[in-house]
């Protein structure tokens, strides 16, 4: 079966019976691309750049590729989920989104200031980032970052001069892109090293002595990515599923399209869903004893006419005591350190339930009818639209672990 001409990226669905084999050479992809009909349901822009493995199912002869591709989207999700432990699928789950995220997570605070370059860290925290997910990068090499810097600089300059993407002044500015690896951020050996991108620019008419200004920055990361999933990835793919950007929209789209062309990946918007926002509320509150959260602020949007926005801000000490009261008592009997580090989804649910019931007792208005759209505290803020700000470096890893998981789940292929 695996000897077929269309050896490919392994699809975990088939892994139980097939030993994954794949071909790294680019020509294979070209052949596949040519043979696959263009009249598919794929988005026209991404169709050309589909990575070889997205053409799916190694065992299928060419003429039935079409039929197989239909199930492509589903197969990935099932496959990623099948990588997760049974516990996460079978345990008590209030919503379908909850089922997809891990139901328990460690909350150790990490003093990463010693491991990570303080300049890199300073760039990462205290800034609001717009999140996207990215599918695995094909033939991305951490050793080639200097070359990528040159290529992307040239690409942006060329695109700007074509006048395709931006206003006229764009052509008069020059861009300097720098790629760098952020060492020490990864949690496990499976996590690919985080990559930081910065774009500096200086208008042509600026004075000679004027320094170039940072006009755009972004990063790609993977923190505590699911090891089973990462192991199944072919050797030539690097998984950095979480992309954060800040700066002009047109530069973001140029960077994305360069990545798409160069590494055969695709980008998509990453919302921070209800469950994830609830997790963040609980994770942040849990930190209060170590570093003050000042307050916990949640914003709900209610679907009435005209829409009603409810901002619910709770005193830090009170919300911490509420959190403590809903923690699982059984955990105390276990080894103390382990207990202090792990939070269960049931506790998060009880916590939110407590907050909602206090609200209902006063206003007789059910917050569950609405949507939690924003959570913030002194440790950071997160919005449903996919914007995140991490204000304290100690909790960067906890937050990025959760978001990495969200990104992996959101990936369509």
Partner 1 sequence: MGSMDNTAKRLLQRLVRRIPSQMLKTTLDKWSRLTAAQRQSMDYTESKWALTEKLLAICEENELTVKHIAELEMIHVIENPNLGMWYVFQLMDPQDDAHSVELTQFKEQFKSHLSELIRHVSIKIKKHTDEAVWIRIAWGDTFSRPNHLKPTYVVHYLQTPYVFLTSPTSKQKPLLSQALVLSTRYQAIKDANLSGRKLTAIRDLLMKQYLQVFPTKFPSPLAERNCVVSNLHIEKEQAGSAANRHQMACEAFGDGILPQLQSAVYKLETKFRDHTNKTMTERDEPFKCVVKFASTNLLESLRHSASSGVASTPVTPLLSSVPLKGKNYFVITDNGPGPSSQMKPSQK
Tell me which residues touch partner 1 (CB under 8 A). 302-315, 318, 321-322, 324-326, 354, 357-359, 361-366, 369-370
Location of structure tokens 């360069």: 258
Minimum CB distance to partner 1, residue 309 (Å):
5
Minimum CB distance to partner 1, residue 125 (Å):
27
Buried b (16+ CB within 10 A) or exposed e, 148-173: bbeebbebbbebbeeeeebeeebeeb
**Nearer CB in complex with partner 1: 254/314:** 314
Minimum CB distance to partner 1, residue 144 (Å):
50
Minimum CB distance to partner 1, residue 52 (Å):
50
Location of structure tokens 């998981």: 405
Contact 403, 98 (CB under 8 A): no
**Nearer CB in complex with partner 1: 30/366:** 366
Minimum CB distance to partner 1, residue 281 (Å):
14
**Nearer CB in complex with partner 1: 73/317:** 317
Contact 264, 33 (CB under 8 A): no
**Nearer CB in complex with partner 1: 207/303:** 303
**Nearer CB in complex with partner 1: 310/339:** 310
**Nearer CB in complex with partner 1: 165/331:** 331
Q: Supply angle C-alpha 66, 69, 72, rounded to 5.
A: 175
What tokens does 267 get?
């980008």
**Nearer CB in complex with partner 1: 217/373:** 373
Minimum CB distance to partner 1, residue 373 (Å):
12
- 11-15, long-range: CB < 8 A, 24+ apart: 11/53, 11/56, 11/57, 11/58, 11/75, 11/79, 12/79, 12/80, 12/82, 12/83, 12/229, 12/232, 13/75, 13/78, 13/79, 13/82, 14/57, 14/58, 14/59, 15/232
Question: How far is 367 from 376, CA to CA, in rounded Å?
Answer: 17
Minimum CB distance to partner 1, residue 338 (Å):
23
Question: β-strand 173-182 against 308-315: which pairing, if any?
Answer: unpaired
């Amino acid at each position: 079966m695996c000897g077929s001409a269309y050896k490919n990226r392994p699809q975990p669905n088939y892994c139980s019976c097939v030993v994954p084999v794949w071909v790294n050479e680019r020509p294979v992809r070209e052949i596949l691309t040519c043979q696959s009909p263009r009249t598919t349901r794929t988005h026209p822009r991404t169709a050309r750049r589909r990575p070889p493995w997205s053409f799916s199912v190694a065992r299928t002869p060419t003429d039935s590729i079409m039929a197989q591709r239909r199930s492509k989207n589903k197969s990935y999700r099932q496959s990623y989920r099948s990588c997760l432990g049974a516990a996460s699928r079978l345990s008590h789950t209030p919503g379908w989104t909850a089922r997809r995220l891990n139901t328990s997570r460690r909350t150790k605070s990490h003093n990463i200031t010693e491991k990570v370059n303080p300049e890199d860290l300073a760039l990462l925290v205290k800034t609001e980032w717009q999140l996207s997910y990215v599918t695995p990068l094909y033939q991305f090499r951490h050793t080639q970052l200097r070359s990528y810097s040159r290529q992307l600089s040239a690409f942006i300059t060329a695109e700007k001069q074509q006048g395709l993407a931006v206003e006229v002044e764009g052509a008069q500015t020059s861009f300097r892109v720098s790629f760098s690896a952020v060492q020490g951020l990864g949690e496990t050996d499976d996590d690919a090293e985080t990559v930081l991108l910065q774009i500096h620019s200086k208008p042509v008419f600026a004075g000679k002595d004027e320094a170039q200004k940072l006009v755009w920055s972004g990063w790609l990361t993977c923190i505590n990515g699911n090891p089973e999933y990462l192991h199944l990835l072919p050797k030539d793919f690097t998984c950095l599923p979480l992309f954060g950007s800040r700066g002009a929209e047109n530069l973001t789209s140029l960077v994305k399209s360069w990545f798409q062309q160069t590494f055969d990946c695709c980008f998509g918007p990453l919302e921070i869903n209800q469950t994830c926002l609830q997790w963040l509320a609980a994770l942040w509150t849990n930190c209060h004893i170590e570093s003050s959260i000042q307050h916990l602020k949640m914003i709900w949007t209610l679907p009435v006419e005209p829409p009603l926005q409810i901002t619910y801000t709770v005193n830090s000490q009170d919300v911490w005591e509420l959190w403590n009261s809903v923690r699982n008592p059984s955990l105390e009997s276990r080894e103390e350190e382990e207990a202090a580090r792990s939070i269960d989804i049931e506790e998060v649910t009880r916590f939110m339930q407590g907050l909602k019931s206090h609200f209902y007792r006063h206003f007789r208005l059910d917050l569950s009818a609405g949507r939690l759209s924003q959570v913030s505290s002194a440790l950071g803020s997160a919005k449903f639209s996919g914007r995140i700000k991490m204000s304290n470096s100690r909790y960067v890893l906890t937050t990025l672990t959760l978001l990495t998981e969200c990104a992996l789940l959101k990936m369509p292929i």
